[in-house]
Structure 1
Amino acid sequence: MKPLPRTARAYIVCAALGAGACALPALLPPSPTPWATAGLLAALYALCELPARCRLLGRALGGSVPMGSGSFFPVLVAAALLLPPAAAALTALPGGLLARVAEPPAGWRRAWRAAATALAVWAAAHAATALGARTALGTGTGRPDMPHALLPALAAALVFCLVLTALDGGVRATADGLPLRTAWRGLLGRALAPHLVHGLAGLMMGVLWRSAHGPAAALLVLLPMYLSCWVFAQYHHERAAHQATIRALVQAVDIKDSYTRGHSERVGHASVLIARELGMDGDRLDTVRFAGILHDVGKLGVPTRILRKDGPLTPEERRIIELHPEYGHEMIRGIGFLDEARDAVLHHHERIDGSGYPYGLRGEEIPECARVVAVADAFDAMTSTRSYSRARPVATALAELERCAGSHFDPRMVAALVRALAAHGWQPEVTADEAGTQVPAPRTPGPLAAKTQEPA
């Protein structure tokens, strides 16, 4: 277990102290806190978090109890609309402390979740109060002013999202040692739409809570939200199953072609470095990573005697091994979320000048993802020790890529890799030597020597 850095612990302590300071006015006299509403909302939020910690209920629901950030945020948005800011912050604390965490250290993670959600709902309540949320929602049997109630609800959800993603980016930066820009990249884009939906659901809860039907009617909003979260959890379980399948395929390739053990993972990592420099994020970044990891999966269809051959390949053997992109494309055809990744697997040996294979595509005809993987693949091949070539220094490999940019490789991708390595360096986790391979002296000189014995 990786210990939590001191900076991350200090960050969490500061967030917890801030959350306590925000909630404290609700406990001090004279307090305008409506305790019946605050208590019910706090208990409801805590109750919603409990099923994820109940193993029996989790098994009854197929292991897909909604959990983690976002499942029950409509309760917190409703609190921001119905309560003063300090009281709204209090409603987040019990549920945050009871929430299930998937990884240790559990205590720090729960403290962080409670503090971050309390700060976010406190800020959201301030935004809602400034826009007259409680007046717009009406009281007792009064009718809500729905056109005007939409604005404070959406503002509360937006502020909630902004504060929570800003805090989450900070804790990622301190815990993982990432630059702030990297830690925040993609967080807001992924969270904004779900949080706005939570805002609308929270508005519905608030309206029903203030209606003549009371809090019992507001609970009806949670049922469809819970079911939608359950469906979303099912999707994530399916995605995890696909990733496990991908991992098994890559391990099978590594076992079959021992000289390239770890190559797929390193190509996936290098592909992500390039993609980030090009401004890709979110699902597109996942696609590039999967494409890099799976680019050689078609080698499972190539005879082992050819993959492990020490001497030069015959023309017939080369024709056989050059079928591996097409084999790989067919093998992953049934994995639905790998649409663009399949094209990269098929075309990662195409060249900008049209001299590649399998179809001799040139320039922009080659999918962008394939051009990324081609550069990452060649770079790792040159910087890894193989049966026919010793590893080159990173600087030498980059110089070779730059020399071949415009003919073999897309110059944009090469330049992106150069920038990424200048910023982050290159530390491959697995090499052929570490895998126990006996490596003879290099035998194949010349440009891109690491790529000329067999397609990597």
Structure 2
Amino acid sequence: MEAVPPRARAYVTCAVLGTLLSLLPLPVTHTPWWAVALLAAVYAGCEQFARRRFAGPFYPVLLAAAFLLSPPAAALVPLPGAALTRAGQRPEALRRTWRAAQLALAVWAAARVHGALGGRAAVAASGFPRALAPAGVAVLAFCLVLTVLDGGILAAAERVPLRRAWQGRFARSLVPIGVHGLAGLMMAVLWRSPYGPVAALLVLLPMCVSWWAYAQYHRERAAHQATIRALVQAVDIKDGYTRGHSERVGQASMMIARELGMDDERVEVLRFAGILHDVGKLGVPTRLLRKDGPLTPEERRVIELHPEYGHEMVRGISFLGEARSAILHHHERLDGTGYPYGLMGSQIPECARVVAVADAFDAMTSTRSYSRARPVGAALEELERCAGAQFDPRMVTALTRALDRYGWHPAVTAQDGTSLVPPAPPAPDRQEARR
């Protein structure tokens, strides 16, 4: 984004002024400049390496500086690394300036809190257990300043409401920054020990290995997401009336899974299942998917092959796990009248029963070529009416509870992308083959 709003530029200017104030007063005679220079050089190298090889920033050196140096001296450590590391987006200079100011303020705050709690004395005495409490509070301060500033710049640059800009940021960043803080504390204690700075820097080696492994996992997940995105885009292009349907079914499936208390891994698998449940439509003639009016029995039989087509398409994608059976069985019904195999009750995989409810819910609350969207309340009433025969009552109840708690806000779109929120509709049975 080259055109930066004036209030975002003003926000960055305030952060820079705050950084300059944090450097005062800098005790020139008592500052160990060699330590500042060494830590700054090591951080600059780590930052360059982390940006190229890892999935995110690398903070142990900055936190070690907060545990070893006075607040003004610690605030100097991130400046060279932040100034030299490419931002990757324009305007480059403004983004580098912002990054330098943000990190300097966070390190200054961490050092200030750490010193006020007597942390530097504990580190100097190599009292590792005693040093944990002040270091932990300093890490919290570091994390809090970063998240507050991140949310503020998002609100200033993108006009995102402050509450939404800050929502969840602190909790998401606390664990990774906490791990970095522990490594930084180990560096600081070793630095002050008889082993000296060389031993302290060796702490970075296992940290780099573990962070590299995390980065590999992150890249693998990104590749998974790209695979799924490509398949979903292909379906959306082929069946324009259901554009966005896959993502919404994925969202509803995830809401049901969380309400049922499933672990995070299964929740993610259910999201994949919801997103890819209709991928088999790539094997169905486009004229049938876009046909206005009722389907003939032969046309219905062709469309009813899409779960099997989808299962064949994703059979070799190992990371989908049980999502593959959800793709195959999401049109089965508890009473055995569904397709493709007429499974009954508990014969239907649990993940398929989740996706079936999510799919029907979005079909009823979206406008299609053959039906108009109905209100969420009416859709839930229809799901409850069909629970026990068509849908698993547990899944319907879970969706109802989740919607009561969080609401349902995705846009309902038609083929031309215009927003449609009209009344009314046919029951799920008439929509079954098209979904």
The TM-score normalised by the length of structure 1 is 0.75
Bigger CA drift: 403-412 or 292-301?
403-412
CA distance in 1 between counterparts of 2:334 and 2:311 reads 20
Q: 1:49-448 counterparts in 2 under 5 A?
A: 49-51=47-49, 65-66=53-54, 68-69=56-57, 71=58, 73-138=59-124, 144-265=126-247, 267=249, 290-304=272-286, 306-310=288-292, 312-315=294-297, 317-325=299-307, 327-329=309-311, 331-332=313-314, 334-335=316-317, 338-339=320-321, 342=324, 345=327, 348-349=330-331, 359=343, 361=345, 367=351, 370=355, 373-374=358-359, 377-379=362-364, 382-383=366-367, 385-386=368-369, 388-389=370-371, 391-392=372-373, 396-408=374-386, 410=396, 413=399, 427=411, 431-433=414-416, 446-448=425-427
Contact 1:278/1:416, CA 8 A, preserved across alignment: no
Please state whether the residue corresponding to 1:407 is helix, strand or coil.
helix
Alignment pair present for 1:36 and 2:34: yes
CA–CA distance in 1 between the matches of 2:44 and 2:320?
Answer: 38
- CA deviation digits over 1:387-408, x for unaligned, max 9? x34x54xxx4435314414234
The amino acid across from 1:91 in the alignment is V
Cα gap change, 1:299 to 1:8, in 2 (>3 Å) = same
Query: How far apart are residue 427 of structure 1 and its match?
Result: 4.1
How many angstroms does 1:267 deviate by?
Answer: 4.9
**CA 150–433 in structure 1, closer or farther in 2 if over 3 Å, else same:** closer
Do the aligned partners of residues 416 and 15 (structure 1) sit closer, same or farther apart at CA in structure 2, a change above 3 Å counting? Answer: farther
Deviations, residues 322-342 of structure 1 (Å, cap 9, x unaligned): 343454355445545545755
**37-46 or 14-23: which moved more?**
14-23
| Maintained 8 Å contact 1:137/1:149 | yes
Give deviations 1:352-375, integer Å, cap 9, x for gaps: 99976664559x985585377336
SS at match of 1:104: coil
Matched, 1:15 2:15: yes
CA-based RMSD of the aligned residues comes to 4.1
Query: Aligned to 2:385, what secondary structure does the other structure show?
Result: coil
The 3-state SS of whatever aligns with 2:77 is helix
Equivalent AA in structure 2 for residue 108 of structure 1: L
Q: Shift in Å at residue 314 of structure 1?
A: 3.9
Partner Cα separation in structure 2 for residue 340 and residue 262 of structure 1:
23
1:204 to partner: Cα distance = 1.9
> Aligned residue pairs: how many?
418
State the AA in 1 paired with 2:24: L
Tell me the secondary structure at the aligned position of residue 312 of structure 1.
coil
Cα distance in 2, alignment partners of residues 333 and 41 from structure 1 = 51
Distance 1:160 1:114, change over 3 A: same
Measure the CA separation in 1 of the matches of 2:323 and 2:83: 40
Q: Counterpart in 1 of 2:421?
A: none
Deviation at 1:311, TM superposition (A): 5.3
In structure 2, which of residues 421, 426, 431 is the aligned counterpart of residue 452 of structure 1? 431
Are the structure 2 counterparts of residues 104 and 299 from structure 1 closer, same or farther at C-alpha, using a change threshold of 3 Å? same
SS in structure 2 of the partner of residue 144 of structure 1: coil
Contact kept in structure 2, 1:67 and 1:100, CA below 8 Å: no
8 Å contact from structure 1 (residues 133, 149) kept in 2: yes
Identity over the aligned pairs, expressed in percent?
57
1:163-188 alpha-carbon deviations (Å, 9 max, x no partner): 32233233334444434443333333
Q: Alpha-carbon deviation of 1:12?
A: 3.0
CA distance in 2, matches of 1:78, 1:184: 26
Taking structure 1 as reference, are residues 420 and 280 closer, same or farther at Cα in structure 2, changes over 3 Å only? farther
* Change beyond 3 A, Cα 1:177–1:294: farther
CA distance in 1, matches of 2:329, 2:14: 50
Return closer, same or farther for 1:449/1:349 CA change in 2, 3 Å cut-off: closer
Rounded Cα–Cα distance in structure 2 between residues aligned with 1:419 and 1:49:
41
- Which structure 2 segments of 5+ residues have no match? 419-423
Against the structure 1 CA distance between its residues 343 and 220, is the aligned structure 2 distance closer, same or farther, given a 3 Å change threshold? same
Matches of 1:337 and 1:262 in 2, distance apart? 23
Residues 432, 146 of structure 1: alpha-carbon distance in 2 compared, 3 angstrom cutoff: same
From 31, 43, 46, the counterpart of 1:45: 43
> Residues 88 and 232 of structure 1: is their aligned pair in 2 closer, same or farther, counting only changes over 3 Å?
same
- Structure 2 CA distance for partners of 1:267 and 1:236, relative to 1, 3 Å: same
Contact 1:267 1:373 in 2 (8 A): yes
- The answer to whether the 8 Å contact 1:173/1:180 transfers is yes
Shift in Å at residue 81 of structure 1?
Answer: 0.7
